Amino acid sequence: MLLTIINPNTTESMTTTIGKCASQVTGPGTVVHAVTPAMGPASIESHYDEALAVPGVLAEIAAGEQAGSDGYVIACFGDPGLDAARELARGPVVGIAEAAMRTACYLGRGFSVVTTLGRTAGRARDLAETYGAGRFLRTVRACDIPVLELEDPASDARRVITEECRRAVVEDAADAVVLGCAGMADLAALISAEIGVPVIDGVAAAARTVETLVALGLRTGKLGEFAAPPAKPYTGALSDFQMHRPDIC
Amino acid sequence: MLLTIINPNTTESMTTTIGKCASQVTGPGTVVHAVTPAMGPASIESHYDEALAVPGVLAEIAAGEQAGSDGYVIACFGDPGLDAARELARGPVVGIAEAAMRTACYLGRGFSVVTTLGRTAGRARDLAETYGAGRFLRTVRACDIPVLELEDPASDARRVITEECRRAVVEDAADAVVLGCAGMADLAALISAEIGVPVIDGVAAAARTVETLVALGLRTGKLGEFAAPPAKPYTGALSDFQMHRPDIC
Amino acid sequence: MLLTIINPNTTESMTTTIGKCASQVTGPGTVVHAVTPAMGPASIESHYDEALAVPGVLAEIAAGEQAGSDGYVIACFGDPGLDAARELARGPVVGIAEAAMRTACYLGRGFSVVTTLGRTAGRARDLAETYGAGRFLRTVRACDIPVLELEDPASDARRVITEECRRAVVEDAADAVVLGCAGMADLAALISAEIGVPVIDGVAAAARTVETLVALGLRTGKLGEFAAPPAKPYTGALSDFQMHRPDIC
Amino acid sequence: MLLTIINPNTTESMTTTIGKCASQVTGPGTVVHAVTPAMGPASIESHYDEALAVPGVLAEIAAGEQAGSDGYVIACFGDPGLDAARELARGPVVGIAEAAMRTACYLGRGFSVVTTLGRTAGRARDLAETYGAGRFLRTVRACDIPVLELEDPASDARRVITEECRRAVVEDAADAVVLGCAGMADLAALISAEIGVPVIDGVAAAARTVETLVALGLRTGKLGEFAAPPAKPYTGALSDFQMHRPDIC
Amino acid sequence: MLLTIINPNTTESMTTTIGKCASQVTGPGTVVHAVTPAMGPASIESHYDEALAVPGVLAEIAAGEQAGSDGYVIACFGDPGLDAARELARGPVVGIAEAAMRTACYLGRGFSVVTTLGRTAGRARDLAETYGAGRFLRTVRACDIPVLELEDPASDARRVITEECRRAVVEDAADAVVLGCAGMADLAALISAEIGVPVIDGVAAAARTVETLVALGLRTGKLGEFAAPPAKPYTGALSDFQMHRPDIC
Amino acid sequence: MLLTIINPNTTESMTTTIGKCASQVTGPGTVVHAVTPAMGPASIESHYDEALAVPGVLAEIAAGEQAGSDGYVIACFGDPGLDAARELARGPVVGIAEAAMRTACYLGRGFSVVTTLGRTAGRARDLAETYGAGRFLRTVRACDIPVLELEDPASDARRVITEECRRAVVEDAADAVVLGCAGMADLAALISAEIGVPVIDGVAAAARTVETLVALGLRTGKLGEFAAPPAKPYTGALSDFQMHRPDIC
């Protein structure tokens, strides 16, 4: 099976990390294709960045449909473009926030999210409500680390994140911790070993979840809201998107 | 005061209708500037259309900031790009779905939404939850009319919509009806007269709401989640958006 | 248009303040008539006060109907008698708590209420749920200032309130602050300038909201729960209220 | 123990029925004192009636405090004045809607309410939310019978109500039915025998509930929101209410 | 009337305390039969203990049915086996958590639970949601006292519990406190006297509640979910439970 | 990896079906061990059956711990004993209802459950709330087929279930259907092919989910509510359960 893991930002090194994490957890018959959009922001740290990452994500979905991809992961914790992607793709699409949060719900009664910037906490809480994880969400904790600093080996990001995860256990009585950024994908196991509760990386969780959906023959329901979008004219810098419609669904 | 009313789709005739509706309800000192994005879909009938309407909306916000606009209306019932627009603009931004739904809450205990296509009902219900109107929302009713058919004088769209509004009163016991598409902006008074309960057009409601916010000196809170987005590189077809950042907030 | 702003308590000086605030924010064609009930408590600081303020409010609604008032504001943060007033009045009726809270929802993801006495916090939270603002409400903060002390220039009420508003920003990460008492109506702009986030006065918000409803031709839906109350005998000290029924609606 | 059962409307024959129902279900050491207010509406069929019933209810609470009443029932399904009464009384106060709904929750997973007029359904649903019974409430069903017709032996009210209760079982799969009007107090057992599920009369449920609270030494918590209301001037037709404050609590 | 009070654990001394508390609060015509299961854990301090207490509880329900019991109390704060007991018994069944929480809701706007071990707090919050008391629940506070230490006169359990109750008043602004363990049944009045707000013992609350249900002729609705369980083979150590089915309901 | 799939009822043929379904969807390195409890009911069709299935489930968890099982599935749609099992097991435990419902949430905006007996619908709705799937749940539909009839090839169960699934699509506008009984495990693909939307079998979903949790090194958080249960005496027919405690966790 071919899975496309879309890094919604345009930073290639982050795509590499994400792809590696996804490959490590999927089965031998699964080919992971990690892709970087041709347009959009270098990192996603605001609603503005997130909104403008969506066209690049949808272009990658359209390309994946051409390439015969069986399923997709959107690998940014805001799950940008998820509903639109579900209309466009024939196979299942999973966001890393929804996969991480739902996975955490299997591991206890409450989890906290540890994320990068405080300004993204509102979006995380909003998604928790949307995904039905609001009842399980204890706190969204921010480390005030810019996303791309996670890539910098000289930064003490890992220590700061680990400390915030520890606080989630001690102060929130969280049974589990969700890492709120795809850029933290390689830290989960290390932090879990230090703090003694499960730590969920959304990239791994989402990759396994979509692999499961494909394996079980489960695709997005296409008889209503998520049917292929009706064809119509598109103009301007986005006129290419008129082409990206699937002919069949 | 200068208000920018953004039609998120690229159909100029609809922009004209929307602008006229907004102008009719705002005060003598208010200049309404109705704009059509330079890029995006001709109408918004899917999550895909909605997502791809957002860059055009944000470009108009950025242009409005240059032009000294005091506030903005996003005139599509899915309120595309609302959170991002609030980061980008110094003044307030109001979506027509949120304005219409909150306005309806002042008029009784329950309202129904009458919209175009059934596939958009899920989004409307989702927005009602997000805006805190879920407790007031009775039913989302679809007329199965494509958005642009609303512009066609030969269509019997008006009759079909009126009948669906009447059903909202009789079957849902709705105290008020919200029209779920900016393209219905000129029908509200006519339908209300026929069915005997208030009918809310989101364009008028949003135009007045943003005019009120500006008049009261109320802008989006800018100390947290909705601060101006951090600057960073943008690439590809969207690289222009790197420029659109406000220097101050 | 004639708007009646009802101060539910019997303190004339507060009526004057409220009326001035409402006049300042409404349009040139709008006449604001601020009224004080002929019966009831000097201030509203308990459920008991609030319940006993309602007959006076309803008598003013009835008088307003005789005088041809187009809409009403109930200017106490508990919104006393709102549902009954909506049955009685032909035009729209807006409470200052509902207007303030819904207005705050346009300005960010979360607001806090700063109010007078701690014992009123429960009512404020209850109203937030009722109005669909529960999801946006961060904290209700009390200053432990009796309502009428707000009128006393020698009091340091303004300083205390400003400090509590600042705490709402720092400790609750509120994007906006709602002032939870009509007696604070003239403080909003001053405090906003000091703390850097929007501060909402319910009197101004409600006056503009009801002016908008009237301008848009939107009245309370009258086909169900809010139809004019059925006629029947009233006895005792309240027997006059038998007269106050509208003949038509 | 002395229990005061307050009929919030001024119809003496209904007070007699209510008092008899309460006496039949309370213990031998309990004296039931059923009272009719000296002011207010002959029946409660609107928000307006309900609001104007409250002063009469509070006057009876004040009189009960003088007479040494140990607890109170407010015997109208809208529970008028409940919060204010809790401030005023030293002992516990129970409304028949809250008692009926909470009692129904012990008898299965879902109940429906069968009430008089359709216009009161919104209030019943609102109270269910307020009391935490929203999760258990299936449907509010109206019989379109005016309240005082329940007193008329020639009316077929009983048959109509029984049929609506039966529909609650068949169509809503309700495990129990709550009668939504104090005027139905004597019908519960008869209807239950006919339809085969428990039918709850709020008067009996509330009388037993307040008797239990008194027996267990449980009174309203008086250290916060429900402390005795602060003293202050009252003017006009309600100036007597300035006197009705408890000196101690 | 015969009421069976089931102590779900196997510690006889706790059964004695519970039975005494229930007898003290029920009426002269009520016979309280406090029983200890023949199987199960000595105390209930985990989900595991609670799950394995259920067969013993159900065996006592079955025995009670043979003995003609009119109603039942399940006297452990997790309300183990409540739904199954309602299927099995002809008369009403009440858990002490549901009775305590619903009773607290009559006494103010918010209550806190003070319980034994921190690990049981999740279950208490979960039950509050299930019973519709979530809106009233402030905090679940744990004393970290093992259940059986409550029986030890040399322990300072009472002092520790009282201090935690006091904190509920001061820090949570709770109007009432619920004791979260049947083993605290004899402490409620003492603690209430010390802290000044009502303190609810679930055993007393549940005993009175079930006595009321029986007195009012109210039994579990038996036409749907809570009908007697269908007969079928049972095997192994639990094969006796095949016999415990009621022949009629 | 060794996964233990526990059929909570004692019908061996159903265990065989369940085990086969689980084996078919798990990876080559995964050994599926499907087990039948030594005690309990032949099928689970009531709260009573479900409660009495729990000891057998917990005994299988304890046996699995001895055998080195890495994770567990509880294969009955009521998820009996799930919280207790999570305390007892070192590895993750997943119920088929939670797995099926959460899986359905990835496939659209709304799903319906099609189950056996109408009396189990309340439990299904309750679980949906508990798991955070309440927002996604459209309707629980019952076929009124006893559980064991699903095993009977002569029955027209499959046709009846398929028709009910089709109604879920047409009448509820469900994007996906969840089969509400482990006995339907082999029907999902067939029905999906007939009705055109995804149909989820909880056994397959849960087996894949627990396999994923084990693969990702994610276990139940053990520092709080789900720590191993404290040791204590157990008596009577369940005294063996005193032994089943893990020494370490």
pLDDT digits (tens, 9 = 90+) for E108-119: 999 999 998 999
Any chain B CB within 8 A of the CB of D225?
A: no
Any chain B CB within 8 A of the CB of C90?
A: no
The A residues from 163 to 202 touching F (CB cutoff 8 Å) are 169, 173-176, 189, 192, 196-198, 200
The mean pLDDT of F72-94, rounded to a whole number, is 97
Query: Is residue C119 assigned to a domain?
Result: yes
Q: Which backbone phi and psi does B186 adopt, to 5 degrees? A: -90, 5
Give the residue on A whose Cα is nearest the Cα of B39: A236
Per the structure, the count of domains in chain D is 2
Any chain E CB within 8 A of the CB of F139?
A: no
**Tens-place pLDDT, residues F131-142:** 999 999 999 999
DSSP single-letter state for residue D243? T
| D173 chain-F contacts, CB cut-off 8 A | 118
| D10 chain-C contacts, CB cut-off 8 A | 233-236
Cα separations (Å) of E15 from E5, E21, E46? 9, 10, 19
Measured distance CA(B63)–CA(A78) in Å, rounded: 26
Any chain A CB within 8 A of the CB of E122?
A: yes
User: What residue ranges in chain C does DSSP mark as E strands?
Assistant: 2-6, 31-35, 40-41, 71-74, 93-95, 111-115, 137-142, 176-179, 199-201, 234-235
Tell whether C104 and C175 lie within a shared domain: yes
Q: What pLDDT is attached to residue A247?
A: 45
Q: Which of D190, D240, D205, D238 minimizes the C-alpha distance to D103?
A: D205
| F168 chain-A contacts, CB cut-off 8 A | none
Inter-chain touch B110–D126, beta carbons under 8 Å? no
Q: Which residues contact C245 (CB under 8 A, 6 or more apart)?
A: C88, C228, C229, C231
**Tens-place pLDDT, residues F109-127:** 999 999 989 999 999 999 9
CATH number, domain containing residue C184: 3.40.50.12500
Measured distance CA(F15)–CA(B52) in Å, rounded: 50
Tell whether C115 and C25 lie within a shared domain: no
Distance from CA of F164 to the nearest CA of B (A): 22
Tell whether A129 and A223 lie within a shared domain: no
Query: Is residue D8 assigned to a domain?
Result: yes
Domain that holds residue C105: 97-202
pTM given for the model: 0.96
Tell whether C68 and C24 lie within a shared domain: yes
Length of chain E as a residue count:
249
Residue position matching structure tokens 């509590």: C164
| B109 chain-D contacts, CB cut-off 8 A | 122, 126
Chains B and A touch (3+ CB pairs under 8 A): yes
Geometric angle at alpha carbon A180, from A174 and A181, rounded to 5°: 155
The mean pLDDT of D174-199, rounded to a whole number, is 93
The mean pLDDT of B163-171, rounded to a whole number, is 97
Distance from CA of F218 to the nearest CA of A (A): 6
Neighbours of C95 (CB within 10 A): 30
Query: Is residue D248 assigned to a domain?
Result: no
HSE value, Cβ hemisphere, 13 Å, CA-based, for A53: 28
Tell whether F155 and F189 lie within a shared domain: yes
Query: Is residue A217 assigned to a domain?
Result: yes
**B7 and B36 Cβ atoms separated by less than 8 Å:** yes
Inter-chain touch F109–B126, beta carbons under 8 Å? yes
Q: Which residues contact C37 (CB under 8 A, 6 or more apart)?
A: C6, C7, C8, C9, C10, C53, C55, C56, C57, C59, C60, D236
Give the residue on D whose Cα is nearest the Cα of E73: D106
**Tens-place pLDDT, residues D152-178:** 878 888 999 999 999 999 999 999 999
Inter-chain touch B122–F135, beta carbons under 8 Å? no
Query: Is residue B177 assigned to a domain?
Result: yes
Q: What pLDDT is attached to residue B85?
A: 98
Query: Is residue B45 assigned to a domain?
Result: yes
**Residue type present at position C43:** S
Q: What pLDDT is attached to residue F243?
A: 59
Q: Which backbone phi and psi does F120 adopt, to 5 degrees? A: -90, -5
Inter-chain touch D238–C126, beta carbons under 8 Å? no
Tell whether B51 and B73 lie within a shared domain: yes
DSSP single-letter state for residue B153? T
What is chain D's mean pLDDT, rounded? 94
Give the residue on F whose Cα is nearest the Cα of B134: F135
Give the residue on A whose Cα is nearest the Cα of C110: A122
Q: Which residues contact F54 (CB under 8 A, 6 or more apart)?
A: E51, E52, E54, F8, F80, F81, F84
Measured distance CA(A242)–CA(A224) in Å, rounded: 21
Chains E and F touch (3+ CB pairs under 8 A): yes
Q: What pLDDT is attached to residue A151?
A: 77
Q: Which residues contact D5 (CB under 8 A, 6 or more apart)?
A: D18, D19, D22, D32, D33, D34, D35, D72, D73, D75, D203, D207
**B210 and B92 Cβ atoms separated by less than 8 Å:** yes
Measured distance CA(C132)–CA(A109) in Å, rounded: 27
**D220 and D241 Cβ atoms separated by less than 8 Å:** no
Distance from CA of E133 to the nearest CA of C (A): 14
Q: What pLDDT is attached to residue C222?
A: 96
Q: What pLDDT is attached to residue D186?
A: 84
Task: Give all chains having 3 or more CB-to-CB distances under 8 Å with chain C.
Answer: A, B, D, E
Residue position matching structure tokens 């690229």: B10
Q: What pLDDT is attached to residue A155?
A: 83
Q: What pLDDT is attached to residue D244?
A: 52
DSSP single-letter state for residue E220? -
Inter-chain touch A227–B119, beta carbons under 8 Å? yes
Listed as ranges, residues in chain E with pLDDT below 70 are 243-249
Tell whether B210 and B88 lie within a shared domain: yes
**Tens-place pLDDT, residues A178-213:** 999 888 888 999 999 999 999 999 999 999 999 999
pLDDT band for position F147 (cuts 50, 70, 90): confident
Tell whether E74 and E37 lie within a shared domain: yes
Distance from CA of A109 to the nearest CA of E (A): 7
The mean pLDDT of D109-125, rounded to a whole number, is 95
| Distance, C-alpha F198 to centroid of its chain | 18
Q: What pLDDT is attached to residue F249?
A: 36
Q: What pLDDT is attached to residue E248?
A: 37
Inter-chain touch A122–C135, beta carbons under 8 Å? no
pLDDT tops 70 at residue B117 = yes
Chains C and E touch (3+ CB pairs under 8 A): yes
Any chain C CB within 8 A of the CB of D38?
A: yes
Query: Is residue F132 assigned to a domain?
Result: yes
Number of H helices, E strands in chain E: 8, 10
pLDDT tops 90 at residue B9 = yes
Q: In what order do the strands lie in the sheet with C93-95?
A: C31-35, C2-6, C71-74, C93-95
Out of A106, A130, A217, closest to residue F213 by CB: A106
Query: Is residue F34 assigned to a domain?
Result: yes
Out of E200, E216, E224, closest to residue D218 by CB: E200
Which structure tokens are listed for D174?
């309700």
Out of B106, B173, B223, closest to residue C224 by CB: B173
Residue position matching structure tokens 């209802």: F97
Tell whether C87 and C102 lie within a shared domain: no
Tell whether E18 and E62 lie within a shared domain: yes
Geometric angle at alpha carbon D20, from D14 and D21, rounded to 5°: 90
Tell whether F122 and F39 lie within a shared domain: no
Listed as ranges, residues in chain A with pLDDT below 50 are 246-249
Q: What pLDDT is attached to residue B243?
A: 58
Q: What pLDDT is attached to residue F248?
A: 37
Listed as ranges, residues in chain C with pLDDT below 50 are 246-249
Tell whether B197 and B106 lie within a shared domain: yes
